[in-house]
Structure 1
Amino acid sequence: MQLTISADNPLEWVALQANLVPVPLLHAQIMPVISKAVLEAADKGVFDAVAEGHSTAAAVAQTCQLNPKATRELLGLLTALGYFAYKNETFALTRMARKWTLKHEPESVYGMMLFNNRVVWPWLEKLGNYLQTGEGIHYHDHLNAEQWNYYQQAMVAASGSEAKEFGRRAPVSRAMKNGQPTQMLDIGGSHGQHSVALCKRYAGLSSKILDLPAAIEQAAPLLARLGMGDRVRHVPGNALTDDFGEAQYDFVLMSSLAHHFTPEQNADVARRVAHALKPGGIYIVNEFIRPETGATPELVGSSTDLFYGLTSTAGNYSISEIQAWQRDAGLRVGKVVTYRTLPGRAMVVGIK
């Protein structure tokens, strides 16, 4: 996926082709304003206010306790971005905005927008220092209870659509397909959406979610809401130090965690996972992928690579790097499943 600047008329097209448009100025001036406007609109309840019938700028300003002039400006920008349609002095949510921005819609990314606005935005000021020193924030070491809650809500929001596709398309062991009693280890799975998606599809499967105690404290209510009882349960631990056991699991998932670890740490996790898998078992590293050098540019993988470098001093890895950890651990490399709903992301499969 790419973020492109497109022309609205032939003259603009000519200007773009002739390199007369200062594209870096658009990146530097326009896009930060766009990002912050979307985040603040979610945080201030603007999208939900319009959904509830407050359809004029004045009504939105009153409902959300905002300045009327500033609200008109915000709604104008959001209309240009495709969040609202405007007609006869009133605003209406577009189909896109209704699905993805409202608090209580099942696939909404509202939780991620709240986390990015209240927690992540100040981190971006530290990007210059990261570029100079290579030292990231290591945010998992510093989150307070409120920030952990925002973080877990964000992870639920980010994983909603993905978990559904994961449940449909993840390669699984023969024993799981046959409905036999099987065990899954979900490393760093917090909210449990991926485990739940698989357990709903495979009747014989149960899952243990290994995560940090502070993460479990905030994630437990989110998992309980999914109503899986003892079939999906949390186990406190640390992926970097715990012994996963021997020949215990038919399926091991590590989703959105490798980008927090160094190559050496990921290789060590892969070795312990391989030891814990039963013959024919599956190990999936579920991640944003850094494009290979010289490959077609990919915005999502490249931007998250820089972001995770800043926040964890690690970053994304290429498919070949992930497969090397699996291969060195004695696993056979399986097929790579790229997501249709989330560009730049893939399941990298190893088989015992």
Structure 2
Amino acid sequence: MFTRDTRSSSNGWYILDICRGHWAAHALFTAVDLGLFDVLAQGAQTPARVAAVLGTHPEATARLLVVLEGLGLVEREGELWRNAPLAARYLVRGRDAYLGHAVHHFANLAEGWSRLGEAVRTGRPVGFEPVERANYDERLRDYILAMRDQARLKVEQLAAALDLSGCEHILDLGGGPGVYSVALLKKDPRARATILDLAPTLKITRELIEAAGMLDRVELRAGDFTKDELGEGVYDLVLASNVVHIYDADTNRQLMRRVFRALRPGGQVVIHDYVLAEEPSLEAALFDLNMLVGTLTGRVYSVQEMGSWLGDAGFEDVTYHPLTAGSGLLKGRKWTDK
């Protein structure tokens, strides 16, 4: 039976374990890409049978299975291998909680990360070239479905943290897969939502909203929220989920001023994003570095920085609600017109 090493973070083995981290990630990327977990979902299999279905080398497949066992993703009994509960829930295509698109998204980022040294030396992104080799439509669908996968992990937390009292109209900026809009509409059956995103994205959004049975309560509005006016006194809640980390501080400050105008008195803005605390979590710090690798102006902001945008725009009662170690919700109210 495969055993995991238990090593202190105070010795040299910890350094080597960090170095091996990308080996484990690539083992997972490969298994998902091959569809290995889909094969094991059909029942316990021998490595030879798995290899025959996948069209892979039998011995190499057996060696991959041993690593996946060590990662807690598969189990074996004698000569037979099956999915562990974690993989059965999250890594089998077609399952409600499937995370395979998110796994593929991280795999797409790997080549850019291999050039991190160049990004640190120059301060410029290096991740565009490997990502843009793929067909645009395929790349976009892959990205939107990855965002859906990740959003489903904490959508219940987000919805539970928001007060929708008197909320009739929600604006979801860059709402992509629409996961959060759907959850908020389920929480308040009287509300309706507008998802504002780029036109190519909304083609995918429409499919996902229709599958959720919410097309009659969701307006899909094509546009660029970094430039377009959002209206005046139209919405009761504006959600900016995982968008401010893409843009520079001035763009976000201007956006929050337009959000303020778009809200009715008593309405609220909710920024959901990664957050750099005074002692940053590894989750947020790594994502901040990912923004260096893959975007021109993106970065992770502190609560204080984001709060200053809201204060300058006229929002009051600004509060922060953590969701994970490195992300949370910054909320503000518009009590009167500025």
Counterpart for residue 109 of structure 2:
120
What amino acid does structure 1 have at the position aligned with 2:314?
G
Q: How far off is 1:138 after superposition?
A: 7.8
Q: How far off is 1:7 after superposition?
A: 5.2
Counterpart for residue 25 of structure 2:
35
Counterpart mapping for 1:198-217 below 5 A: 198-217=184-203
Tell me the SS of whatever aligns to 1:129: helix
What amino acid does structure 1 have at the position aligned with 2:295?
S
Counterpart for residue 24 of structure 1:
15
Question: Is 1:350 aligned to 2:332, yes or no?
Answer: yes
Tell me the SS of whatever aligns to 2:166: helix
Counterpart for residue 160 of structure 2:
168
Counterpart for residue 63 of structure 1:
53
Q: How far off is 1:188 after superposition?
A: 0.2
Counterpart for residue 309 of structure 1:
292
Counterpart for residue 325 of structure 1:
309
Counterpart mapping for 1:137-176 below 5 A: 144-172=136-164, 174-176=165-167
Change (3 A) 1:253 1:281: same
Tell me the SS of whatever aligns to 1:238: coil
Counterpart for residue 101 of structure 2:
111
Change (3 A) 1:99 1:343: farther
Inter-partner Cα distance in structure 1 for 2:211 and 2:128: 27
Inter-partner Cα distance in structure 2 for 1:138 and 1:324: 30
Note if contact 2:112-2:128 (Cα within 8 Å) is conserved in structure 1. Answer: no
Counterpart for residue 183 of structure 1:
169
Q: How far off is 1:129 after superposition?
A: 2.1
Inter-partner Cα distance in structure 1 for 2:216 and 2:126: 36
Inter-partner Cα distance in structure 1 for 2:122 and 2:205: 33
Counterpart mapping for 1:38-57 below 5 A: 38-57=28-47
Note if contact 2:46-2:80 (Cα within 8 Å) is conserved in structure 1. Answer: yes
Counterpart mapping for 1:233-272 below 5 A: 233-272=219-258
**Identity across the alignment (%):** 26
What is the CA deviation profile of residues 121-154 of structure 1, one whole-angstrom value per residue up to 9, with x for unaligned ones?
A: 2222332221121112585995711100111111
Inter-partner Cα distance in structure 2 for 1:215 and 1:134: 29
Inter-partner Cα distance in structure 2 for 1:315 and 1:65: 42
Counterpart for residue 179 of structure 1:
none
Gaps of 5+ in 1: 1-5, 177-181
Change (3 A) 1:284 1:222: same
Inter-partner Cα distance in structure 1 for 2:236 and 2:151: 23
Gaps of 5+ in 2: none
Q: Which runs of 4+ in 1 moved over 3 A?
A: 137-143
Q: How far off is 1:322 after superposition?
A: 1.1
What is the CA deviation profile of residues 300-325 of structure 1, one whole-angstrom value per residue up to 9, with x for unaligned ones?
A: 11111111221113111111111111
Change (3 A) 1:220 1:99: same
What is the CA deviation profile of residues 80-109 of structure 1, one whole-angstrom value per residue up to 9, with x for unaligned ones?
A: 111112221212222222112111121221
Tell me the SS of whatever aligns to 1:315: coil
Note if contact 1:288-1:346 (Cα within 8 Å) is conserved in structure 2. Answer: yes
TM-score (norm 2): 0.91
What is the CA deviation profile of residues 29-55 of structure 1, one whole-angstrom value per residue up to 9, with x for unaligned ones?
A: x11110111011111101111111152
Inter-partner Cα distance in structure 1 for 2:127 and 2:176: 18
Inter-partner Cα distance in structure 2 for 1:43 and 1:291: 35
Inter-partner Cα distance in structure 2 for 1:7 and 1:70: 23
Counterpart for residue 3 of structure 1:
none
Q: How far off is 1:159 after superposition?
A: 0.8
Note if contact 1:249-1:276 (Cα within 8 Å) is conserved in structure 2. Answer: yes
Note if contact 1:130-1:310 (Cα within 8 Å) is conserved in structure 2. Answer: yes
Note if contact 1:291-1:302 (Cα within 8 Å) is conserved in structure 2. Answer: no
Q: How far off is 1:201 after superposition?
A: 1.0
What amino acid does structure 2 have at the position aligned with 1:275?
R
Q: How far off is 1:162 after superposition?
A: 1.7
Q: How far off is 1:262 after superposition?
A: 0.4
Note if contact 2:44-2:82 (Cα within 8 Å) is conserved in structure 1. Answer: no
What amino acid does structure 1 have at the position aligned with 2:151?
S
What is the CA deviation profile of residues 190-217 of structure 1, one whole-angstrom value per residue up to 9, with x for unaligned ones?
A: 1111001001111221111000112223
TM-score (norm 1): 0.87
Counterpart for residue 259 of structure 2:
273
